[in-house]
Amino acid sequence: MPRPNLTTSTATRLVDLLRRSGLEEGAHVTEQWAADELDVSRTPARKAMAFLAEVGILRRERNRGYFLNRAAASLTGTDLAGAADLEEEAYFRVADDYIGGRFTGPFTAADIGRGYGLTPRQADRVLARMESEDLVRRKAGGRGWEFQQALSTVEAHDQSYRFRMVIEPNALLEPGFRVDPQAAALHRGQQESLLRGDILLLPRAELFRVNASFHEMLVGFSGNQFLLDAARRQHRLRRLIEYRHQVDRSRLAGQAREHLHLLDLVEDGKLEEAATYLRHHLDKVRIIKTQG
């Protein structure tokens, strides 16, 4: 399985430490305490604390250091510390083995159980989840399973982003483009929540949903159902390969801020500028995810 980078991993351990420590909002969190408790040097502790400040869990006060921005008891749901339940772990192991070319051809629930240490009921639940996300389907006749078409190579992922760079910015320029204020407010709140800690606290699948649905919202404002169908299909196809990238969450704060700026432009009616900005945003993410 891909692993989080050092900053993401240390930040996640620090979140777990804060939660176990039961600190209240406003508590002083020192670099030396974090380094000692996590048994790391001060450099990774410093980087982890800066990341937690970037996503809103800590706040940094000049000449005073870092302080907890919310009660430690509210820091729930982290998905990165390697302590996820067995089914969640198996789900991502199956996905990673498929993306890595180690899982080919049709298979059965019994294969999943044996290969990933699951009971028959657990294997069935993993497959039901993958089926609900359009990742796998039952073979004709109902005997066994197979993966749906999905983006499983860097080249295909790159082409997917290039396709989105054609579809999504032009959706903003459609003559029927209209902003739905309620949808915009909902998605603004979700992006702001990412910058208040959800970048670290949400499971990978939910992170993907939040960001994919943001882009689908913008395309949906076009009023062009063909463009929206194309955007939705791309998100279904790229789901597995995107999950891989979300073990490293250190870049997601910048992406959330770009989403909020993009929404500002759209709501201000600056659609030409928004289209240019969206194309640049997609190209930057494409380079990160296919050449990084």
- DSSP per residue over 28-73, as a string? EE-HHHHHHHHT--HHHHHHHHHHHHHTTSEEEETTTEEEESS-GG
What residue spans define the domains of the chain? 6-74, 86-147, 154-291
Q: Which residues on neighbouring strands pair with residue 60, listed in sequence order?
A: 66
Question: Please, are residues 246 and 207 in contact by the beta-carbon 8 Å criterion?
Answer: yes
**Tens digits of residue pLDDT in 189-204:** 999 989 888 888 887 7
- Please check whether the two domains, 6-74 and 86-147, share a CATH topology: yes
Query: Which H or E run includes 187?
Result: helix 181-193
pLDDT higher at 129 or 67: 67
User: What's the predicted TM-score (pTM) here?
Assistant: 0.66
Q: How far apart are CA 170 and CA 219, in angstroms?
A: 9
Question: Please, are residues 127 and 90 in contact by the beta-carbon 8 Å criterion?
Answer: no
3-state secondary structure of 139: coil
**Tens digits of residue pLDDT in 141-173:** 778 888 876 655 677 778 888 999 999 999 999
Q: How far apart are CA 206 and CA 217, in angstroms?
A: 16
Rg (CA), the chain: 21
Question: Please, are residues 72 and 24 in contact by the beta-carbon 8 Å criterion?
Answer: yes
Chain-centroid distance of CA 260 in Å reads 16
CATH topology for the 86-147 domain: Arc Repressor Mutant, subunit A (1.10.10)
**Tens digits of residue pLDDT in 206-244:** 788 889 999 999 999 999 999 999 998 888 777 766 666
Token code pair at residue 42: 């001060």
Amino acid 260 reads L
3-state secondary structure of 146: strand
CATH topology for the 6-74 domain: Arc Repressor Mutant, subunit A (1.10.10)
Kindly report each contact of residues 34-43 with a partner whose C-beta sits within 8 Å and lies 24 or more positions away, as own/partner. 38/10, 38/13, 38/14, 40/10
Question: Please, are residues 10 and 48 in contact by the beta-carbon 8 Å criterion?
Answer: yes
Per-residue exposure over 201-228, b if at least 16 CB sit within 10 Å of its own CB, e if not = bbbbbebbbbbbbbbbbbbbbbebeebb
3-state secondary structure of 180: coil
Query: Which H or E run includes 290?
Result: helix 271-291
Q: How far apart are CA 58 and CA 175, in angstroms?
A: 44
Question: Please, are residues 54 and 253 in contact by the beta-carbon 8 Å criterion?
Answer: yes
CATH architecture observed for domain 154-291:
Up-down Bundle (1.20)
Q: How far apart are CA 199 and CA 285, in angstroms?
A: 17
Instruction: Grade residue 80 by pLDDT with cuts at 50, 70 and 90.
Output: very low
Instruction: Grade residue 84 by pLDDT with cuts at 50, 70 and 90.
Output: very low
